[in-house]
Amino acid sequence: MAKINFGGVVEDVVTREEFPVSKAREILKGETTAIIGYGVQGPAQSLNMRDNGFKVIVGQRKGGKTWDKAIADGWVPGETLFSIEEAAERATIVQYLLSDAAQREVWPTLKPHLKPGNALYFSHGFSITYKEQTGVIPSDDLDVILVAPKGSGTSVRRNFLAGTGINSSYAVFRDATGRALDRTLALGIAIGSGYLFPTTFEQEVFSDLTGERGVLMGALAGIMDAQYGVLRGNGHTPSEAFNETVEELTQSLIRLVDEKGMDWMYANCSATAQRGALDWRPRFAAAVKPVFEDLYARVKDGRECKRVLDSTGGANYREELEKELKELRESELWQAGEQVRKLRPGK
């Protein structure tokens, strides 16, 4: 493992230079990995592993859209595409990549097909961390491991095809075989991770749920709504409000942050922008920190878990979700965004 200094804190990380795909192939030689679920992470991780030369099969409910999607991606019924039960029976490693709510629902079906010495792999610590609520309690004779890419399945696949990779966290919850860590790291490399950094199942889900509800999605969308609304309320046009709120961020500034960091982005903006950003940064931090503290508390004590399971497990969840997404999609902010995207050069 490489020791990397992250702003004064030294962490052990695993890179592809020290742990190449050839080493991963050697560790997983003779193993068959079954991908259970073909929704968000399933396609990316399975296709990346297949392209990297690992023995992979897919387990999915027959007859649905995701079954057809798997066929379209080249998985062959009866050869590399099976029912969930048959795929689990054929596998030595089971990657449990269904949604959190679906993992709770399918667990009684999957559990009898897991054999001693198998590895049960997750890309989210949710089901194990909140096992009292999910009922996902693996037997003691299984390796229980995690590789959690820090990006959507779409990004996992795109970055793999670009030759870069998404960074992933990894954890071992139970080592029943003495091989759990080797299996975990090999799978992390096999799915195309950029580098791997250690965590625990609990820390992964606490940080992940906080991040999704916070900076990555919830807070980002909320801040955009607020700024756009203030600009529109003060007479700015939709085009101007959208460009100042979203377009400049996504098409310019965030790319500078990605390239060399926030300070470099500040250094490459006007003096007026620099001064304003430096002055207002602490005010925004002070304003939102109590919200983040409340959010983290709700994640830690399981209230967010209950909210997820109660809502996503409902019979009419898909219909209610579409109503919420439709409201977002049809808001003036994102209708303006649709028009702005059409006006980009080359579109």
Q: Distance of CA 278 to CAs 51, 182, 253, 266, 308, Å? A: 46, 45, 15, 9, 37
Q: Considering Cα of 144, then 88, then 152, then 335, what sign does the dihedral take? A: negative
- Assign 347 a pLDDT band (cuts: 50, 70, 90): low
pLDDT digits (tens, 9 = 90+) for 285-295: 999 999 999 99
pLDDT digits (tens, 9 = 90+) for 181-191: 999 999 999 99
Q: Which residue has the tokens 């377009």?
A: 247
Question: Is 124 among the catalytic positions?
Answer: yes
Query: What DSSP character marks residue 111?
Result: G
- Assign 200 a pLDDT band (cuts: 50, 70, 90): very high
Is pTM beyond 0.95? Reply is no
Q: Token digits for 148?
A: 């959690």
DSSP 126-138: HHHHTHHHH----
Q: Token digits for 47?
A: 């296709």
Burial of 29 (0-12, 13-18, 19+ CB in 10 A): exposed
Identify the active-site residue in 55, 104, 113, 124: 124
Q: What integer is the mean pLDDT of 216-231?
A: 97
Q: 76-83: long-range contacts (C-beta < 8 A, 24 or more apart)? A: 80/56, 81/57, 82/34, 82/57, 82/58, 83/59
**Given 3.30.70.1520, 3.40.228.10, 3.40.50.11540, 3.40.50.720, which CATH number is that of 2-199?**
3.40.50.720
Q: What integer is the mean pLDDT of 285-309?
A: 97
- Assign 296 a pLDDT band (cuts: 50, 70, 90): very high
Q: What whole-number distance in Å separates Cα of residue 151 and Cα of residue 58?
A: 21
Which residues have CB under 8 Å from 185's CB, separation 6+? 14, 19, 24, 27, 170, 196
pLDDT digits (tens, 9 = 90+) for 127-183: 999 999 999 999 999 999 999 999 899 999 999 999 989 999 999 999 999 999 999
pLDDT digits (tens, 9 = 90+) for 315-346: 898 899 999 999 999 999 999 999 999 998 88
Backbone angles phi, psi at 188, to 5 degrees: -60, -40
Q: Token digits for 73?
A: 């991606």
All CATH 3.40.50.720 domain ranges of the chain, comma separated, are 2-199
Side-chain half-sphere of 33: how many Cα atoms within 13 Å?
30
**Is residue 34 pLDDT above 70, yes or no?**
yes
Model pLDDT, residue 5: 84
